[in-house]
Amino acid sequence: MKYFLSFFFLFNSVHYLQAQSDTIPFVLTDYNNIKIQTVVNGKDSLELKFDSGTTGLLLTHDAIKDKTDLLQKNQIEQTENYQKLGLPVSLKFGNQFYDSLEVYPVMHSGQGTDGRFGWDLFKGKVLEIDYDESLFIVHDSLPQVSGAYSKIPFAIDHTLICIPGKFFQDRFEYTVKFLFDSGYQKSLLVDSTLASRQGYSVDLPVLKVNRLRNGAGEIFETKVVEVQRVGLGEISLNQIPAQIINQSNPAGFDVHILGNDFLKRYNTIFDFQHQMIYLAPNSLISDPFATF
């Protein structure tokens, strides 16, 4: 998995062509990565993951070394220490063109991808992810939204997208905050310390033990339990396999994390003009949860 987060909030020079909306195909991989074909500096073809749980442009060491000519003399050590590269680069996918992005190196990205780009590339726009048709659509304004969608406000916390939600357990419900993280491949990561403070018990039967790895190669050991129900706005999903983490939250702040094994079940519209997310159940809603 990626893991996790770039805490750099970039203000980039962005130029869009005049089309009102830009429709870009993507591949949803077996590991729940939204993979998009991109071009860096007008010539280097890279397959990047859209990651709503990060900002900016992050490329793996291998991609930087083997698929681009971004490294200048004496920059290999800088790359291995996860320092941003010296020169800004351009990035293009579909009709989206960004001419001055900084590159942050990472050890790992989603399987089969060369890196990832974050939500902040779409500030001031509307981004639609249609999992039924495997389409990534950038709009200049909010399109007509059908009644199938549930509307949820979001906030930016530590430069990342967070939404309100609920845990349901037995006859009780607990109001919580989730990081909306399409780059996290699994369904749900629960911060046990935060859950305890909120009164939500994670003393549940352990289904298995997983080892998760972040973008810097660090290993996090988690227990997997089954959460009875998660609610977001007017929608809810039952019997969610959740990773329980008992150490420092990899997000860097107090939050539970919704990953793309959960999120892919809902066609999604991010309205970055009004800080709203719209979710509608899609054809993946009843798919079994991943076991990797």
Determine the average pLDDT of the residues in 45-66.
96
Q: What are phi and psi of 119, to 5 degrees?
A: -65, -30
Nearest to 98 by CA among 118, 78, 71, 128: 118
Whole-angstrom Cα distance, residue 5 to residue 137? Answer: 24
| Burial bucket for residue 189 (CB in 10 Å: 0-12, 13-18, 19+) | buried
Long-range CB contact pairs, 223-231, < 8 A, 24+: 227/167, 227/169, 227/188, 227/190, 228/167, 228/168, 228/169, 228/170, 229/167, 229/168, 229/169, 230/165, 230/166, 230/167, 230/168, 230/188, 230/258, 230/262, 231/165, 231/166, 231/167, 231/168, 231/173
Could you tell me the pLDDT band of residue 51, with boundaries at 50, 70 and 90?
A: very high
Report which of residues 31 and 292 the model is more confident about: 31
Residue 159, classed as helix, strand or coil, is coil
Residue 71, pLDDT score: 83
Report which of residues 76 and 221 the model is more confident about: 221
Say what the pTM is. Answer: 0.88
Could you tell me the pLDDT band of residue 210, with boundaries at 50, 70 and 90?
A: confident
| Burial bucket for residue 158 (CB in 10 Å: 0-12, 13-18, 19+) | middle
The predicted-structure confidence for 112-138, as pLDDT tens digits, reads as follows 999 999 999 999 999 999 999 999 999
The predicted-structure confidence for 88-106, as pLDDT tens digits, reads as follows 999 999 999 999 999 999 9
Residue 18, pLDDT score: 40
Q: Is the pLDDT of residue 146 over 60?
A: yes
